[in-house]
């Protein structure tokens, strides 16, 4: 042992600290607290990182040989206490609170390596839990790095770096500004023609990613997600977001009145899982022309009520808008964009935890959860509202 006595005082624990993202390593040398670390702490770090990388590749958890788990990710949520006895301790620093003996690193590294491999090979469930935690930390770090690169490269607050399809408004106060997230370039083009000084328009190209089924690294690589983040100034998910941070304090989704439009809206709401500034624009599906008069109906109930108000044998024409792109710019302004005449629904969440469960069940990858939720909710669904 090169003159150093190894004693059974080292403890390595991965406690259930789901809200922790750092490690706690406490080192002692000859019963002296080494608050600045030292070679014995370096030995712990090196042994943990090397051992878990080897076991991860051996167990095929990591199949890509180019991926290596870093010490930071391996030690996330770790609590470790290590105490060593050194015959001739060498303490460094002004306060003498860092162990400097080079032999301590090698011996600690080797002793932990032996115990760790033996324990984890006998307890594969523990190994799986640790590797799962470590891989999640790695994915989160990659996602955050990608998002930071986006912000650095394209500066969210600089108008020249905003998404090319965004028709920005001239209002500089976010509290007075609003943005329409519009389905399709054709509808976006009509909306851009007539938007007011305080209204911006961002057309979407098809359906965005279902982020409930994607990791953050994949999410930030998607072009449409990038456009939403940059255009709205949302920052990095879970890190920089504040309710007052978006460039527009009124974010309005505007999609076609059909199944695809409802799906796109749901995908957007899965992405916009926060409260206070999210609205749903309601375009009218029907236009009724009688002579020179035009009436817009936002649902079938209002359509039937309007029809019943006409005298018998009255001639009129009903137009069903299949999409926003079928409306002329002036029609879109009068029915959907004009603040004085439009119909907006503000989204509020009464129970955030329950809403989170519903979104995870509906939009997640677990088919059994989604099936159970649909079956349990079937009795409260109005069949007349189903587009089938």
Active-site positions read 183, 256, 258, 260
Whole-angstrom distance, CA of residue 332 vs CA of residue 328: 6
Whole-angstrom distance, CA of residue 327 vs CA of residue 333: 9
Distance between start and end Cα atoms, the chain: 77
CB atoms within 10 A of CB 321: 20
Please answer whether residues 281 and 254 qualify as being in contact, where contact means their C-beta atoms are separated by less than 8 angstroms.
yes
Q: Pick the closest to residue 163 from 124, 119, 202, 193 (CA basis).
A: 202
Task: Return the residue matching tokens 């051996």.
Answer: 58
Task: Return the residue matching tokens 């959860």.
Answer: 369
Tokens of 89: 């301790």
Whole-angstrom distance, CA of residue 167 vs CA of residue 189: 9
Tokens of 57: 């590749």
Secondary structure class of 22 (helix, strand, coil): coil
CB atoms within 10 A of CB 240: 15
Rg (CA), the chain: 30
Tokens of 29: 């040398």
Q: Pick the closest to residue 55 from 140, 130, 136, 139 (CA basis).
A: 130
The count of C-alpha atoms lying within 13 angstroms of the C-alpha of 316, restricted to the half-sphere facing its C-beta, is: 21
Residues in the chain: 388
């Amino acid at each position: 042992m090169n003159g150093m006595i190894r004693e059974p005082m080292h403890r390595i624990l991965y406690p259930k600290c789901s809200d922790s993202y750092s490690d706690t390593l406490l080192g002692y040398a000859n019963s002296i607290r080494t608050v600045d670390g030292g070679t014995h702490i370096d030995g712990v770090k090196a042994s943990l990182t090397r051992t878990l990388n080897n076991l991860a590749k051996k167990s095929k958890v990591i199949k890509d040989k180019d991926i290596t788990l870093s010490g930071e990710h391996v030690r996330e949520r770790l609590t470790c206490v290590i105490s060593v006895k050194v015959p001739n301790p060498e303490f460094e620093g002004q306060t003498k609170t860092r162990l400097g003996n080079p032999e301590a690193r090698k011996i600690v590294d080797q002793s932990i390596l032996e115990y760790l491999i033996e324990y984890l090979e006998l307890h594969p469930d523990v190994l799986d839990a640790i590797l799962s935690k470590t891989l999640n930390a790695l994915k989160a770090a990659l996602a955050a790095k990608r998002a930071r690169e986006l912000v650095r490269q394209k500066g969210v607050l600089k108008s020249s770096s905003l998404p090319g399809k965004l028709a920005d408004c001239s209002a500089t106060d976010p509290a007075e500004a609003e943005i329409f997230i519009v389905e399709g370039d054709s509808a976006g083009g009509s909306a851009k023609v007539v938007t007011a000084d305080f209204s911006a328009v961002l057309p979407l190209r098809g359906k965005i990613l279902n982020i409930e089924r994607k990791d953050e690294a994949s999410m930030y690589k998607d072009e449409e997600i990038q456009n939403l983040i940059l255009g709205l100034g949302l920052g990095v998910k879970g890190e920089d977001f504040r309710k007052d941070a978006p460039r527009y304090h009124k974010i309005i989704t505007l999609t076609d009145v059909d199944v695809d439009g409802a799906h796109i809206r749901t995908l957007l709401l899965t992405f916009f899982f926060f409260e206070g500034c999210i609205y749903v624009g309601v375009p009218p599906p029907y236009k009724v022309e009688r002579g020179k008069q035009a009436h817009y109906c936002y649902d079938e109930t209002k359509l039937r009520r309007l029809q019943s108000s006409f005298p018998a044998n009255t001639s009129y024409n009903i137009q069903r808008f299949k999409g926003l792109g079928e409306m002329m710019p002036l029609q879109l302004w009068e029915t959907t964009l004009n603040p004085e005449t439009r119909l907006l629904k503000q989204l509020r969440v009464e129970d955030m935890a329950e809403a989170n469960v519903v979104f995870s069940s509906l939009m997640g990858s677990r088919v059994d959860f989604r099936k159970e939720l649909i079956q349990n909710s079937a009795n409260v669904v109005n069949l007349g509202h189903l587009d089938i």
